[in-house]
Copies of this chain bind each other. A is one copy, B any other.
Amino acid sequence: MLSSSPFHGLSAFPITPADKDGRVDTNILAQLLERLCEAKVDSIGLLGSTGIYAYLTRNERRRATEAAVECVRGRVPLIVGVGALRTDEAQHLARDAEAAGADALLMAPVSYTPLTQDEAYKHYRAVTEASDLPLCIYNNPGTTHFNFTLDLLVRLSYLPTIRAVKMPLPSDGVFASEIATLRERTGLAIGYSGDWGMADAMLAGADAFYSVLGGTIPGPVLAMVRAAQAGNADEVRTIDAMLAPLWDTFKAFGSLRVMYLLVELIGIGILAPPRPILPLEAKSREKVVAAIEPLLASG
């Protein structure tokens, strides 16, 4: 019943193509987004971690959002990342995204000085006061190093525009009890990220999966999510097994670095992540190529 929400099904997170000075290439971005619209992903996650939001200025983030809205034209809900170190900056970004025509917001509690639970709460509250767009809490301790308590998630769920949470994979690998608890206590749409956990998360009944691979090569992950939604566990496992070598490269090299190579391998162009992040070296590239070849060959 909630499947038309931007926080259900497969949310695809593309890279944001940019030059070495951090200027976004809106033409290449449109090419990436067009592929996602044609594949009929359930939502697009623009300017997520994979979309290097943390490395782009407010102005470039606005340019990227405006270009995305123009390209997508309402075909797929557009979720825009508005995380920032400063609360006022996150508010500006939320207003910019809404003004540009985004459908929803995604925000991580980015921090330098480690935040208290109350500081994170008030940071989110301030952003929900700046924009009426539905917001997904981006719980990503691997990049933010902030840990949400269940109590904080419950408290945040009472803010009227907060509708969803994007969780990290559970450390014990057990999804069902976590999903049940979060659903009961928060009423939020429950999604996960960390592509190698997609099969387990969707089979356990997660509402959404926020996928890095889906942002560049949506076919196989969309097939996996649809199989999970249809209750076809065998097909989910088959696709996941096919992707396992690629998941291994995500874990070994970081999925962001791998995506830049995949964008090259599918013929979009040779792009580089923002320095200090470096492109993969020859040996790592070989491993990714070996992992991806069967997928590209199978279409």
Contact = CB atoms under 8 A, between A and B. Distances in A.
Interface string A102-129: 0000000111111110111011001000
B116 A142 contact: no
Contacts of A88: 20-22, 275
Given A86-B274, A145-B145, A275-B86, A49 B112 contact: yes
A79 interface: no
A116 to B, nearest CB: 7
A114 B86 contact: no
A277 interface: yes
Interface string A28-54: 000000000000000000000100101
Give the size category of A's interface with B. Answer: 35 or more
Interface string A261-287: 000000000000111111000000000
A96 B116 CA distance: 33
A254 B114 CA distance: 8
Contact of A55 (B52, B112, B142): B112
Interface of A: 20-22, 49, 52, 54-55, 85-88, 109-116, 118-120, 122-123, 126, 142-143, 145, 254, 256, 273-278
Given A22-B86, A114-B254, A123-B276, 11 more contacts: A52-B113, A54-B113, A55-B86, A86-B275, A111-B276, A113-B273, A115-B276, A115-B277, A122-B278, A123-B275, A126-B276
